[in-house]
Amino acid sequence: MSTSNPLSTGTDYDTLATRFRPIFQQIAAGTLEREKARALPYEPIAWLKKAGFGAVRVPAEYGGAGASVAQLFELLIELAEADSNIPQSLRGHFAFVEDRLNAPPSAERDAWFARFVAGELVGNGWTEVGGVKIGDVITQATPNGNDFLLSGRKYYSTGSIFADWIDVYAQRSDTGADIIAVVDAHHAGVTQSDDWDGFGQRTTGSGTSVFDRVPVPAAHIIPFQTRFKYQTAFYQLVLLAVLSGVGRAIERDIAFEVRERKRVYSHGNAPTAHADAQIQQVVGQISAQVYAAQAATLRSAAPLQRAYIARFSGDADAERQANIDAEIETAKAQVVVSELILRAATDLFNALGASGISEHKALDRHWRNARTAASHNPLVYKARIVGDWRINGTEPPYVWQIGDSRATA
């Protein structure tokens, strides 16, 4: 085990992105057909695994790319332009990587870094649906000798169907402590279903995971209170990257459609659509909205990097302030980015004729995907949290849960 603690402080972005852009292009070439067939992106994710995409945040000293938080999210925006489902599928993976980056040096942390560099991915199993009271966790880890057996059912298991491991939020049956149990996704006791029924982001693999007495080594039981503090901001940033990438795809597609359009209206302003000043204005407005969305997303990544560095600085006040900033800035970005991209996803049809709504083109997928990503972590609550901070100095919540209101009565 290394006793040093090298940090991922950033690398040359152009060099980093050049490694992956050919894969992003290859992914983009098949996105429309996957959308129409609702085909899960097993092959594209395998390409990313082989290229080491899942290890970009791992320090270079351990074989990763040493990327900063902002550089990771800039890459995710580029990937989301190619296929917005895939960054969301990797949301749980990069959150678990971030958690291990924030863990103290240990042989176990070294082992996880080695797994990430080898291409292994981690999925997500946190949410339980149905009559689950807020604060309750039905999934249980039961002691079994020196190790544990995990049983339970999770929904919204984004990316787990592609993963080698699953990061499962559970409780210990003996102590009632909240934990993370890291499960072998390939064990016979793990059953996964692609039963996500949302109208957007349909190929993220966000269905049901069932765990039936799955063995978990004691070393893979992580106390939840040690989870990295800016996790909610991190999860939100993935969704902001998805939205920004959707925006870039909208900008790309509307420019192509207008450029290639042959038919014009008799009461238009030019003999071709691409020369019509009003159509140019629609495209220019969309481009500006996408620019602002991406800028807000990347700016809100900065305090997460500061929180990561401060984690090991010994300065508790600096770490606390960085974590507050991470929550507040990602919340502010969520409010504006969601609105900007949803507007762009509708306005793109103002530059096209009736042919723009052809199912063959599937341009509606941009709105459906954006609306789905924007529906996570309701932005009305985020706006209120920001307002309460600005007015009253109320520290934002770092962890929140969802449950059946009837079960809390």
| 338: pLDDT strictly greater than 50 | yes
Q: Write the DSSP symbol of residue 362.
A: T
Give the mean pLDDT of 321-340: 98
CB 332 within 8 A of CB 238: no
Q: Which residues contact 278 (CB under 8 A, 6 or more apart)?
A: 268, 269
- Please tell me the distance from the alpha carbon of residue 367 to that of residue 286, in angstroms, as a whole number: 13
CB 27 within 8 A of CB 41: yes
- Please tell me the distance from the alpha carbon of residue 79 to that of residue 324, in angstroms, as a whole number: 28
pTM over the 0.85 mark: yes
Give the mean pLDDT of 37-57: 98
Instruction: Read off the pLDDT of residues 218-257 as tens digits, 9 standing for 90 and up.
Output: 999 999 999 999 999 999 999 999 999 999 999 999 999 9
CB 21 within 8 A of CB 48: no
Instruction: Read off the pLDDT of residues 60-83 as tens digits, 9 standing for 90 and up.
Output: 999 999 999 999 999 999 999 999
- Please tell me the distance from the alpha carbon of residue 142 to that of residue 144, in angstroms, as a whole number: 6
Give the mean pLDDT of 120-127: 96
- Please tell me the distance from the alpha carbon of residue 347 to that of residue 360, in angstroms, as a whole number: 19
**pLDDT given at position 2:** 55
Q: Write the DSSP symbol of residue 155.
A: B
**pLDDT given at position 407:** 52
**pLDDT given at position 409:** 45
Task: Using DSSP, state whether 168 is helix, strand or coil.
Answer: strand
Give the mean pLDDT of 339-345: 98
Residue 141, strand partner residues: 150, 172
- Please tell me the distance from the alpha carbon of residue 338 to that of residue 370, in angstroms, as a whole number: 8
- Could you give the C-alpha distances from 348 to 92, 200, 209, in angstroms and in order? 31, 18, 37
Give the closest residue to 235 by CA, choosing from 400, 388, 110, 12: 400
- Please tell me the distance from the alpha carbon of residue 40 to that of residue 206, in angstroms, as a whole number: 11
Helices then strands, counting H and E runs in the chain, come out as 12, 8
